[in-house]
Chain A
Amino acid sequence: MNPELPPGLALQKVDERIMTLNVGPQHPGSGHMRIIVQIDGDFIVACDPDPGYVHRGEEKMAEYRNYITNIPHLERPVIHDSCNVLYPYVLGVEEILGIEVPERAKYVRVIASELNRCIYTMYWLAIYGIFLGHSTMFMWPAGDRELLIDLMEKMTGARVTHAHFVPGGVRNDLPPNFEDVCLRQVNYFEKRIKEYAAIFYDNPILIARTKDTGILSRQDAIRLGTTGSVLRASGVDYDLRKKEPYDVYEELDVHTNVMKEGDSYARSRVPWLDMLESCAIIRQALQKMPKSGSVRVKLKPNPKGKGLDSVYKRVESGRGSLGCYIVSDAKPEPYRVKMSVGSFRNLIALPYLLKGEKLGNMPSVYWSLNYWPVEADR
């Protein structure tokens, strides 16, 4: 081997029986990701995920913009879950600047992030349906999430990327009569997603393709450091909303959905159960929210940190724990922003899950990781 070659360009010796197949990066079974699989007949012997194809450089861009102007672009990695993606960054900046958030703003944040979790999960579910050739399951969630998108539009003024959370609170107060509309829509939404059980989760074809495929044991889930629905489907009771409550989650009754099987079916079911849980959380928050009061503490135009300082804040997003590590050096711009995202952390499980699996099961196993391609490369 040529020592001048940087690692990664070394050539590999190939077995004649093994065929290397590039699935993606633009493929109905892989989304925006390239999965390099090596197959022996119909069975996958090795898998090498290659996530870097969508966009990258959020972390670098964040070093050139000040704390406030970072907000609109740091939510880009997951535009369907933009409130949750921004959440740890906002919490981190608040800790660096030492700001206390008004009580009403905390409730508004919880409602917005739970609505966003549902919006994201519905989109994920729609794509899971179309991956498995179940086109009704694509159309129903894609239509039903409009309900919640309309709610977010009422709340923030934007349909997809809201940029609603700012250090010190949220950008705007709720519009008049929002609570009633929200309660009504959420109640209808909950009734509607309960119907998915009959068409999707009890469907024999889905069960045949997902039950007992891609099994991740509890021990492996812990060892590989997976997070979110992948972890909870393997029997680990860990949800940051309960374990490390942020904002007002401490005052709300949050139930964690855990399944023991650890197969693709459990992994696809846990996010759906979480959506029902989100509806319950939104109802509680609407009830407990202070009816009036400030929702934002005004900041100085160019807030600065206090000397060399670092914070690591994390929240539970639609895809699992989402951490943000911010290093500040008393300048208006952060010195370094690192996002530790659920998709990237769960990706490490993919080669373990696909090994020994049939190629036909690849889409169902891969998408059950609750993976969002754009988030992984940030």
Chain B
Amino acid sequence: MSSDSENEQIETTSDVEPASKATPAKEIELPKFEKGIADKITEKFGSKTKVAFVKPDRVRIDVGRDDIKEVAEFLRDVLNFDHAESVSGVDYPQDKEIEVVYHLGSYTDPSLSRQILILTTRAQREENPIPGNDSTKLPSLREIFYSVEFHEREIFEMFGVYFQGHPDNRRLLLPEDWADLPPLRKDFAIKGR
């Protein structure tokens, strides 16, 4: 199909100066409702949390590993985020850190049905990981959000992040005799590439 609408949208994908277009659009107006959620969190916890971005329907909060349980409890009890949709790990070898990202949603509060609160924290990353027996550890949120049970098990085997306080710290997807690096780390390379 010939597309006659090859207009300025293509320009935004060019790598010449995309930032100049992107930044003013963000600063014009922050979505009000999401701003309110972010303000409530910063009001309560102050400098312990950092609001990384506020976009339509999405708020991202960065928290240190010591405060994450406290913040998560606040999110569940006061702001009504009642379940975790997904837990992802992102490996940053240059920072020597692994980021764990919780996507929290709400079924019970109709005003939050579109919202996803993105709660992130970072764990120390070891060059030679021994999953479960090194310093790559985080407190588990399983007591606060039951739904993270399998997700945290997945992060444990795929990134080697051990969740302290998780009642069932076993592997889920990998073979029982897996003895290699955690496969979703960046230094685990695919064969032939």
Contact = CB atoms under 8 A, between A and B. Distances in A.
A and B pair up: yes
Interface of A: 3-4, 6-9, 50-52, 56-57, 59-61, 64, 97-100, 102, 169, 172-173, 222-227, 231, 236, 238, 243-244, 294-300, 303-304, 306-307, 310, 312, 314, 321, 323, 325, 327, 330, 335-336, 338, 340, 344-345, 347-348, 377
Given A6-B131, A7-B132, A295-B1, A222 B184 contact: no
Interface stretch (B29-37, B41-49, B65-73, B143-151): B143-151
Nearest to B185: A60
A306 to B, nearest CB: 4
B90 A336 contact: yes
30 contacts: A4-B133, A7-B169, A8-B170, A50-B172, A51-B172, A56-B173, A57-B183, A64-B193, A97-B12, A99-B9, A223-B83, A225-B85, A238-B107, A243-B113, A294-B1, A294-B5, A295-B3, A297-B6, A304-B15, A306-B22, A325-B86, A325-B103, A327-B90, A336-B91, A344-B151, A345-B86, A348-B146, A348-B147, A348-B149, A348-B150
Contacts of B146: 223-225, 348
Q: Name the residue in B13, B60, B188, B193 with the highest tally of chain A Cβ atoms < 10 Å from its Cβ.
A: B13
B11 to A, nearest CB: 10
Interface string B108-148: 10000110101000000000001111000000000001111
Nearest to A99: B9
Interface in B50-78: 57-58, 60
A340 to B, nearest CB: 3
A250 to B, nearest CB: 12
B173 A377 contact: yes
Contact residues of A: prevailing secondary structure: loop
B26 to A, nearest CB: 11
Interface in B141-192: 145-151, 154, 156, 162, 169-176, 183-184, 188, 190
B92 to A, nearest CB: 9
A59 B12 contact: no
Contact of B83 (A59, A97, A225): A225
B173 A52 contact: yes
B4 A98 contact: no
Contact of A325 (B82, B88, B91): B88
Task: Give the 4 A-B residue pairs with the shortest CB-CB distance, closest first.
Answer: A225-B147, A340-B86, A225-B83, A52-B173
Given A226-B147, A294-B4, A310-B101, 7 more contacts: A97-B13, A98-B13, A231-B107, A295-B1, A304-B15, A344-B151, A344-B154
A9 B176 contact: yes
A212 to B, nearest CB: 24
Nearest to B157: A8
B57 A7 contact: no
B85 A330 contact: no
A1 B53 CA distance: 45
Contacts of B10: 297-300
B84 interface: yes
Contacts of A310: 60, 101, 118
Contact of A6 (B60, B114, B133, B147): B133
Contacts of A243: 113-114
